[in-house]
Amino acid sequence: MRVFCGIDWASDHHDVVLVDDSGNLLARARIDESADGLAELLQLLADHGDGPDTLIPVAIETSRGLLVAGLRATGRQIYAINPMAAARYRDRRTVSRKKSDHLDATVLANILRTDAAAHRPLPADSELSQAVAVLARAQQNAVWDRTQASNKLTSHLHEYFTVFLAAVAVRREGVSHPIARVLLAAAPTPERAARLTKSQLRALVVKAGRKNTIDAEVERLHKALRHPQMRQLPLVEEAMGHQTLALLRQLDAVCTSAEDLAAAAAEAFESHPDAEIITSFPGLGTLSGARVLAEIGDDRTRFTSAKGLKAYAGAAPITRASGRSVAVLARRVKNQRLAATGYVWAFAAMAHSDGARAHYDRRREAGDRHTAAQRNLFSRMIGCLHHCLTQRVPFDEATAFPTPSTEPQLAPV
């Protein structure tokens, strides 16, 4: 008799259900989020036939957390079921739309009983790969937080300090640039900024880390901060300056976090065996390569073909056909982090690979819009990455983008 386990996850407790291969309820329990709760769960599994050769598979609605880590350490298969998919399965158990933790755990157990082949278990990634995933995702979150904090500060400065925004607009980072942040901390209002002398500006620029063309930068800032602008009332302007300093502290914190996490992610990634192959691809550096490895892992059995990896990354289209109606659409259900990295990867690859640029141009000439052509290039590149990681070979431009033959093709006789 085969046994299947379903766990309805919550923040402080978890409902557990065991069913047999006929769908009969064998056991149910509620465990705590603790070491005692994990021990209770393992004992419950052992009482129903769990052993070294007959590990009971587990279905749960999350792929993270201490409970999942403890279960993965036992070597069993763990299926992270998407909550939206579980909700569709719930309708098979009841049509009254009722919901309970016990019912959800039962639904998860029955998903494994009936449709385990349609779901993918958590990959058996190495410890180093999991560490890279933690750092790379945290760094990406910090970058998103930095963008949000920068946008908040920029929006606030638009209300009373437009000359400062014009002064820092010459750089892509805007208010996130070290010079902009140091300058704003010293002079958060137009009045204070206009009173800054060239010697004071020079000290601030040096403090921000500028090492060359300092005099030219000081002259530019000295002139820009004295440019006429519309002003708020003095007390209102001073109050807005205090708000600016508060927003600036938030921006400084996320900028520091992003930089520290980037260094840690790069260090962990460079020590991984797949790093050399991943960074051999045009457009992938240490940090972007770490993000790619974080999402695809190093379990080579996870994706049996390049087609599966392309679908996971959102690079493969989906087809909707009914009768004579056929529509080919972009994939929306995908790994959003890998898709975001892929967009940047494809864009950078065009600048470092003649073959990638030619492939993009051919797609544009065929009628694709920019986004579609770039997504098609990403599909080509990630397919090549699957091959290189499987065969343990670095990227080769001639193999990935062979030159079309110019010789006339003779028709077969």
Is pTM, for the whole model, over 0.75?
yes
List alpha helices for 169-233, DSSP H.
178-186, 190-194, 198-207, 214-224
Among 39-48, 234-243, 321-330, the least confident range: 321-330
Whether 235 has a pLDDT exceeding 50, the answer reads yes
Averaged pLDDT score across all residues of the chain:
91
Q: Are 184 and 244 spatial neighbours (Cβ–Cβ below 8 Å)?
A: yes
Contact 179, 169 (CB under 8 A): no
CB 119 within 8 A of CB 99: no
pLDDT band at 413 (very low <50, low <70, confident <90, very high): very low
Q: Which residue has the higher pLDDT, 255 or 318?
A: 255
Task: For the domain made up of 3-122, give the CATH fold.
Answer: Nucleotidyltransferase; domain 5 (3.30.420)
The reported pLDDT for the residue numbered 340 is: 93
User: What is the rounded average pLDDT of the residues 134-157?
Assistant: 96
Backbone phi and psi for residue 8, each to the nearest 5 degrees, phi listed first? -90, 110
The model's confidence at residue 184, banded by pLDDT at 50, 70 and 90, is very high
Can you tell me the mean pLDDT for 336-342? 94
Share of the chain above pLDDT 90, in %: 77
Per-residue pLDDT at 258 exceeds 90: yes
- Give me the pLDDT at residue 326, please: 87
55, 75 Cβ separation under 8 angstroms: yes
- With H, G, I as helix, E, B as strand and everything else as coil, classify residue 314: coil
Q: Give the residue among 358, 388, 361 at the shortest CA–CA distance from 373.
A: 361
Instruction: Tokens for 209, please give them.
Output: 């880390």
pLDDT band of 324, cuts 50, 70, 90: confident
Report d(CA 112, CA 371) in Å as an integer: 38
What pLDDT does residue 403 have? Answer: 78
Rounded Cα distance between 343 and 172, Å, is 19
Residue 51 pLDDT greater than 90, yes or no: no
Question: Is residue 78 within 8 Å of 68, Cβ to Cβ?
Answer: yes
The band of 294, judged by pLDDT with boundaries at 50, 70 and 90, is very high
Q: Is 68 helix (H, G, I), strand (E, B) or coil?
A: helix
What's the pLDDT band for 405 if we cut at 50, 70, 90? low
Per-residue pLDDT band for 65 (boundaries 50, 70, 90) equals confident
pLDDT band of residue 347 (cuts 50, 70, 90) is very high
| pLDDT at position 276 over 90 | yes
Is a pLDDT exceeding 80 seen at residue 91?
A: no
Q: What is the pLDDT of residue 410?
A: 52
Across 162-171, average pLDDT: 93
Percent composition of the chain: helix, strand, coil (DSSP 3-state, to 5): 60, 10, 30
pLDDT at 404 over 80: no
